[in-house]
Structure 1
Amino acid sequence: MLLLGLAAGAAVLIGGLGGPTQLFGNSPLEQDWSATPAEVRVVDGDTLRLSDRVVRLRGLEAPPRGEACRDAAGREFDCGAGSAETLSRLVAGRGVACRVRGRDRFGRGLGECEAAGVELNGALVSAGWALAGEGALHPLEDAARAAGRGLWASGARPPQAWQARR
């Protein structure tokens, strides 16, 4: 009886005073994340580290580092590094703010982000360094392809996995 009373008391103490508050999925569906320029790191062409949080740009797909593409002369280059470099230029020396909605399969926040008034998701697709994954970005991808920007540069061949898309 005494053991049962101690167990019940411990459960009340843990649940009522110091237990985790997000056990049953009641965290907000949308969150605003931001970081100062010193806290922003580019992980790859579609992923940023904002201080201690990782956010993947929502609605697009950039090639991972090490993904091979070919230029107009047939020479191979790392198109994933090109995508990450473009994202680095977009955030260089700027704070980043993201509206995070949901998580990807790796637990990263999925967000629409901006740096100094530049919407990063659209800018990366518009520069030709990412594929549109959602409808709103498709016109930007189409324009990048037509203008031969980024991965669509005249004569360049995008990653093999992308050649069958759209």
Structure 2
Amino acid sequence: MLPRRRIFRPAPSPRAWRGPLLLLGLAAGAATLVGLGGPTQLFGNSPREQEWAAAPADVRVVDGDTLRLSDRIVRLRGLEAPARGQACRDAAGREFDCGAGSAEALSRLLGGRGVSCRVRGRDRFGRGLGQCSTLGGTDAAGVELNGALVSAGWALAEDEGLAGMEGAARASGRGLWATGVRPPEGWSASR
């Protein structure tokens, strides 16, 4: 008896098709995302500027220069406020928490209103850096928080645009520049 001969070829191994099929699937998935209006910034390109807003119930003062807008944290751009727990001295020589004073001043400026911020960039902690204003209330235009906090004397200007406001606050003796108050250590009175 003669040995049987095979007259067909065996099917190709499924492993040989794994690479091309995977690439085909990824290409189809990417095309579907783009075609259905998926994210257009897939490779880390984010918009240079973003608008963040929050209703009054979603706004929290974290620090003298930091706000929580719902689930986002924004640091006011162009200024530096003392951190909570930073000690200042009043005219009588008593210590007080000037960071808490700065946070209270920001809270008064908010006045229970919502906030809108134009966010551009991030700080070293990943917080959005924003130019923020209040929304609604009796003044339709709202209060520009960055300038108002520096102008009230509760923050230092890091931006040239706010330097004049800091100078006016010092000259008028507002906030941390009130007569007899010594700002926190590390803050230069000649700045």
TM over 0.5: yes
Shift of residue 20, structure 1, vs aligned partner: 6.0
Aligned residues: 166
What is the RMSD computed on CA atoms of the aligned residues? Answer: 1.7
Find the residue that maps to 1:32 and give its secondary structure: strand
For structure 1, the 5+ residue unaligned runs are none
Counterpart of 2:92, as a letter, is A
Shift of residue 106, structure 1, vs aligned partner: 1.2
Taking the aligned partners of 1:76 and 1:31, their CA distance within structure 2 comes to 40
Q: Which residue of 2 aligns with 1:48?
A: 67
Q: Which residue of 1 aligns with 2:112?
A: 93
Taking the aligned partners of 2:127 and 2:28, their CA distance within structure 1 comes to 32
For structure 2, the 5+ residue unaligned runs are 1-15, 136-141
Q: Which residue of 2 aligns with 1:12?
A: 27
Match of 2:168 among 143, 150, 161: 143
Identity %: 71
Taking the aligned partners of 1:94 and 1:154, their CA distance within structure 2 comes to 31
Find the residue that maps to 1:24 and give its secondary structure: coil
Q: Which residue of 2 aligns with 1:103?
A: 122
Match of 2:49 among 7, 10, 30: 30
Match of 1:125 among 118, 127, 150: 150
CA contact (8 A) 1:37 1:92 kept: no
CA gap 1:14/1:68 in 2 versus in 1, 3 angstroms: farther
Taking the aligned partners of 1:41 and 1:161, their CA distance within structure 2 comes to 27
Taking the aligned partners of 2:31 and 2:22, their CA distance within structure 1 comes to 14
CA contact (8 A) 1:64 1:80 kept: yes
Counterpart of 1:146, as a letter, is A
Q: Which residue of 2 aligns with 1:62?
A: 81
Taking the aligned partners of 1:55 and 1:17, their CA distance within structure 2 comes to 34
Shift of residue 92, structure 1, vs aligned partner: 2.6
Counterpart of 2:143, as a letter, is V
Q: Between Structure 1 and Structure 2, whose CA radius of gyration is higher?
A: 2
Q: Normalising by the residue count of structure 2, what TM-score does the alignment of the two structures yield?
A: 0.81
Q: With CA pairs under 8 Å and 6+ residues apart, which has the higher RCO, 1 or 2?
A: 1
Counterpart of 1:8, as a letter, is L
Shift of residue 95, structure 1, vs aligned partner: 0.8
Match of 2:187 among 153, 156, 162: 162
> Where does structure 1 differ by over 6 angstroms across 4 or more consecutive aligned residues?
none
Taking the aligned partners of 2:24 and 2:97, their CA distance within structure 1 comes to 60
Shift of residue 108, structure 1, vs aligned partner: 1.0
Match of 1:134 among 156, 159, 162: 159
- Structure that is richer in strand per residue: 1
Taking the aligned partners of 1:75 and 1:158, their CA distance within structure 2 comes to 12
Find the residue that maps to 2:23 and give its secondary structure: helix
Shift of residue 15, structure 1, vs aligned partner: 3.6
